Amino acid sequence: MMKKIDLQAAEKCSFKGNLGAIFSRKRTVFRLWQPFAEKAFLRLYNAENEPLFSAEMKRRGSVFEYVKSGCCEGLLYDFSVTDGGEERCFADIYACSVNSDGTRGIVTDMQKNMPDGWENDSFISFKEPERAVIYELSVRDFSMDKNADFSAKGKFSAFCEENVHNSYGESVGTEYIKNLGVTHIQLMPVFDFDFDKSEYNWGYNPGFFNSPCRYYSLDNVVYELRELVLAAHRAGIGVVADVVYNHVFSAENSSFEKQINGYFFRGSGNFSNGSGCGNEFASERIMARKFIADSLEFLLKEYHFDGFRFDLMGLTDIKTLRKIEKRLRRINPSVMLYGEGWTGGESPLSERFRAVQRNAEKLPSFSFFNDSFRDAVKGNVFDKNDCGFVNGKADISHFKPIFSALSGVFSEDFWAKNPSQVINYVECHDNQTLFDKLRITLNNADFRRICRAEKMAAAFVFLSCGIAFFQAGQEFLRTKNFSENSYNLPDEINSLKWDLMTKNSETVNYYRGLIAFRKRFYGVFRNCVLRNFDEYFVCEKNDFILIVNSSDRKITTDYSGKFEIFADEINASDVPLYSSKRLCCAEFSVLLARRKVDES
């Protein structure tokens, strides 16, 4: 249950200044927004959680403030407020770092915890977001495989390790990702979250939004997360942080609710549940909006993230995202901003205010995941037996959303008009992996047939206009043993199995070749012409031809002349694989060709 609050009075008491523990070597200013409490106390502790200091904070308008002289670096702290005769203790929602159980913040000198080279590090400039190739991964999954010789398994530091190999002796880790050709890695949540007594967790049950997750750290969590970003930047890879501002793990027990009952979450008497996780953050309220904006600006400045992926972005109001964008682009004009344009349930926030797909035109610089493309390619993700174009329903109705992505021309009722707002994908951390979905829907098909479907799906993603996105390991046929939602399953299920990179090297090389082709010829089929034949489709633009053969027999087309082949049923590349005088496409595959100009 949530307590009722005079929201109008609270909004009138908003505060524009800095909040939290504002650190300097000579003093720290502790500032807490709480317009209604009778009094508030600051309490300091040593590293062993032993009390060191307690003082009543002074009210200054709608905030309480205490200035503590001397260097407070490393001290733990919390706040205590008395509100309506009730005393509540809680950690600072603005804390840069928190202790392991999230009961106290840690005063942090952000100017001190810097790896060598951090001061000269900068964002990966990416002025055309639709050209991005995003690789989604979990920090833990990245390095927990027993067949990869990471030293810092499950930790931020694993991304900084060099000369890491699988059991076949092939390079894995950050070096592998660089050679794959992706432009950005998207880190699943890396900020403080509740483990819910589980050994494994994705991090979508947040506690604190500015404090890196200690479970991913060997020693110095701020330093090690920065070190990860620095290692990626040195490899030429941007880093996107997956942020979860739409809810917290437990609203009643959160510092947000304890700080001021009934303000930071939507609902009247009970917490509303648009997130599907028991509560939803009230982003439209002034101080909630300010918190999100302050938090993102802090993360951008202090961790040099190149973008943010918003979990259940449809629960965040449009006005908040517009304000956020304005602030962030002052720091990094090319910051990438995108998210899920839907909610996890019914929300009291009117749909006209939500950042859902149908309101995409109101957020022209934000991108949204294209679930209609995803389902057209492989089938509905909520029905494991449903098929898409590559696995049983190769008809025009399923090809239309795919063709729209390839051509960058969308129907009148589609939510986007510009490909830069569209993220094309067929697999992410949610639901089954593509490989598992194909194994289910293709029944007793042999391995070759499944690989052909995998390659065709990949071709659609990387040849389309808009941002390309795929989950780590998708390229080497990642499996989660048919689990539809592996958020709480052990490492045996979730970890990247790096030996598959070697075992399924053909599909890895196919992905690598498609990514390279995309980088060299991005948008090659923009505004292309579609030709629909009985057993196959053809997309043509200028000298490029894409043949999509979903039948069980080889197709010999009427095209003749001199052609350079960039992709067939086996390989893909940004340079011609071979030349041909006829265009023949193997069963269940694509053929990507360019007509050679007669130089004579």
| Residues catalogued as catalytic | 311, 340
Residue 326 neighbours by CB under 8 Å, 6+ apart = none
CB 487 within 8 A of CB 201: yes
φ, ψ dihedrals at 118, nearest 5°: -65, -40
Q: List the Cα angle 163/168/170 in 5-degree steps.
A: 35
Query: Rounded to an integer, what distance in angstroms lies between the CA atom of residue 120 and that of residue 263?
Result: 40
C-alpha distances out from residue 338 to 119, 271, 302, 366, Å? 27, 26, 20, 5
**Residue in 237, 233, 205, 202 with CA at minimum distance from that of residue 216:** 202
Cα torsion through 136, 138, 144, 145, rounded to 10: -30
Residue 253 neighbours by CB under 8 Å, 6+ apart = none
Looking at the DSSP assignment, which residues form a beta bridge with residue 44? 53, 77
C-alpha distances out from residue 24 to 74, 107, 302, Å? 12, 10, 16
Q: Which contiguous run of DSSP H or E holds residue 301? A: helix 286-303
**Residue in 203, 176, 178 with CA at minimum distance from that of residue 188:** 203
Looking at the DSSP assignment, which residues form a beta bridge with residue 471? 136
DSSP code of residue 572: B
